[in-house]
Amino acid sequence: MRLFLDTANIDEIREINRWGVLSGVTTNPSLLAREHGDVEKAWLLILEEVDGDVSLETTEPEAEAMYEQGLKLAAMGPNAVVKVPMTTAGLTAGRRLADQGIRINVTLVFSPAQAILAAEIGAYIVSPFIGRIDDAAADGMHALRQICEIYDVQGYETEVLAASLRHPMHVVEAALCGADIVTMPYDVFIKLVRHPLTDTGNERFLADWEALQGELRGGGNDPARKEGA
Ligand code: G3P
């Protein structure tokens, strides 16, 4: 399962990239708006920083203009993936882009029915929004499980990207469902690393190591100690 960061913030991307686990980035208009800067510059920086797929989202509501915008976004870098929304215009533009070999990510997917349409237009990625399904008092993980099963049974090659993940257990459950990719915000990435027993265990190991070094510096070669006395 590939791990993506859901952000347009270059500092967050650089930090997680240093861990050696980052396989891609997803951006959307809301994430870009949070950064307040030049959008094209931000995209280019991210495309250069990340050795993996970077999703750039179209913002034109009509199919023809969305298609034209998709062509431009795809040309921004070899790792650019064009995001189109799950709308009738998104399907039309997405199909044309996919037919030209452009990798598309169909976003704003909330049901298995929509995921079938994304696969049928030849999408490279489908993005079901797990957390937002939960927000609507439905079961996001159940939808994800159904999508993974349908894709498996039907032999669809479209990759399932679990998006709108809000906490580490979303990531774990998405992995169990068989998602190909998960995208998560910076804070969820940080929470994946942390465990209180790792912290206390690490503190104890370091304290014991320091104590041993002190002992050795202070002539801790006492034979009686070596015998465990
Ligand atoms: O990038 C799409 C998705 O991950 C958004 O998540 O938390 O805004 O529902 P959220």
Per-residue 3-state assignment (H helix, E strand, C coil) for the chain: CEEEEECCCHHHHHHHHCCCCCCEEECCHHHHHHHCCCHHHHHHHHHHHCCCEEEEECCCCCHHHHHHHHHHHHCCCCCEEEEEECCHHHHHHHHHHHHCCCCEEEEEECCHHHHHHHHHCCCCEEEEEHHHHHHCCCCHHHHHHHHHHHHHHHCCCCEEEEECCCCHHHHHHHHHHCCCEEEECHHHHHHHHCCHHHHHHHHHHHHHHHHHHHHHHCCCCCHHHHCCC
Do 162 and 83 lie in a common domain? yes
- Is pLDDT of 229 > 50? no
Do 119 and 217 lie in a common domain? no
Q: Which residue has the higher pLDDT, 225 or 70?
A: 70
Q: How far does residue 26's CA lie from ligand 1's centre (Å)? A: 9
Nearest CA-CA partner of 140 in 171, 117, 119 = 171
**How confident is the model over 156-171, as a mean pLDDT?**
98
Q: Among the listed ranges 50-59, 62-71, 213-222, which one has the minimum average pLDDT value?
A: 213-222
Q: Check residue 224 and give its pLDDT.
A: 52
Cβ within 8 Å of residue 155, ≥6 positions away? none
Do 220 and 164 lie in a common domain? no
**How confident is the model over 169-174, as a mean pLDDT?**
98
Do 88 and 110 lie in a common domain? yes
* Whether residue 41 lies in the annotated active site: no
Do 127 and 179 lie in a common domain? yes
Backbone φ, ψ for residue 80 (5° rounding): -75, 135
* Residues paired with residue 80 on neighbouring β-strands, in sequence order: 54
Residue in the structure block whose two tokens are 């068989």: 178
Nearest CA-CA partner of 125 in 101, 100, 103 = 103
Q: Check residue 195 and give its pLDDT.
A: 95
Rounded Cα distance between 183 and 168, Å, is 11
- Is pLDDT of 142 > 50? yes
Give the range of the structural domain holding residue 223, as residue numbers without chain letter.
Answer: 196-228
Threshold 0.75, pTM exceeds: yes
Do 33 and 121 lie in a common domain? yes
- Is pLDDT of 4 > 90? yes
Instruction: Indicate which CATH number applies to the domain containing 27.
Output: 3.20.20.70
Nearest ligand 1 atom, CA 135: 9
Do 161 and 212 lie in a common domain? no
- In percent, the amount of the chain with pLDDT more than 90 equals 94
Do 82 and 119 lie in a common domain? yes
pLDDT tens readout for residues 80-134? 999 999 999 999 999 999 999 999 999 999 999 999 999 999 999 999 999 999 9
Q: How far does residue 226's CA lie from ligand 1's centre (Å)? A: 58
Number of domains the chain is built from: 2
Do 141 and 160 lie in a common domain? yes
Do 123 and 184 lie in a common domain? yes
Rounded Cα distance between 176 and 38, Å, is 38
Do 172 and 214 lie in a common domain? no
Q: How far does residue 139's CA lie from ligand 1's centre (Å)? A: 16
- Residues 41, 72, 83, 191: which is the catalytic one? 83
Q: Categorize the per-residue pLDDT at 42 as very low, low, confident or very high, splitting at 50, 70 and 90.
A: very high
Measured from the CB, is residue 132 less than 6 Å from ligand 1? yes
Q: Check residue 228 and give its pLDDT.
A: 47
Do 134 and 204 lie in a common domain? no
Q: Check residue 218 and give its pLDDT.
A: 87
pLDDT tens readout for residues 203-223? 999 999 999 999 999 865 555
**How confident is the model over 181-210, as a mean pLDDT?**
97
Measured from the CB, is residue 55 less than 6 Å from ligand 1? no
Q: Check residue 220 and give its pLDDT.
A: 55
Q: Check residue 15 and give its pLDDT.
A: 97
- Is pLDDT of 140 > 50? yes
